[in-house]
Amino acid sequence: MLPIPYRVTRRVRETADTVTLAVAPAGPDAIRRHRPGQFNMLYLFGAGEIPISISGDAERGELVHTTRAVGAASRAFCRLEEGDALGVRGPFGTHWPVDQARGRDLVIIAGGIGLAPLRPVIDRVVNHRGEFGRVSVLIGARTPADLLYGSEHATWRARDIDVRVTVDAAPGSWRGRIGFVTQLIPTLRIDARAAAAMVCGPEIMMRFCARELRALGLAEERVYVTMERSMKCAIGLCGHCQFGPDFVCKDGPVYPYARVGPRMLIREL
Q: 39: helix, coil or strand?
A: strand
Q: Is 231 helix (H, G, I), strand (E, B) or coil?
A: coil
> Which of 242, 221, 229 is CA-nearest to residue 39?
229
- Positions in the chain short of pLDDT 70: none
Residue 220 is predicted with a pLDDT of 95
Cα angle: 228, vertex 232, 238; to 5 degrees: 120
Q: Give tens-digit pLDDT for 93-114.
A: 999 999 999 999 999 999 999 9
Q: What is the pLDDT of residue 228?
A: 84
Residue 165 C-alpha from the chain's centroid? 16
Cα torsion 16, 9, 200, 124: sign: positive
**C-alpha 151, offset from chain centre:** 17
**Which domains can be identified in the chain, with CATH numbers?**
4-92 (2.40.30.10), 99-226 (3.40.50.80)
pLDDT at 120: 97
pLDDT digits (tens, 9 = 90+) for 123-162: 999 999 999 999 999 999 999 999 999 999 999 999 999 9
Note the pLDDT of residue 60. 83
Give the per-residue pLDDT at 65.
97
Residue 59: the pLDDT is 86
How far apart CA 59 and CA 50 sit, in angstroms, is 24
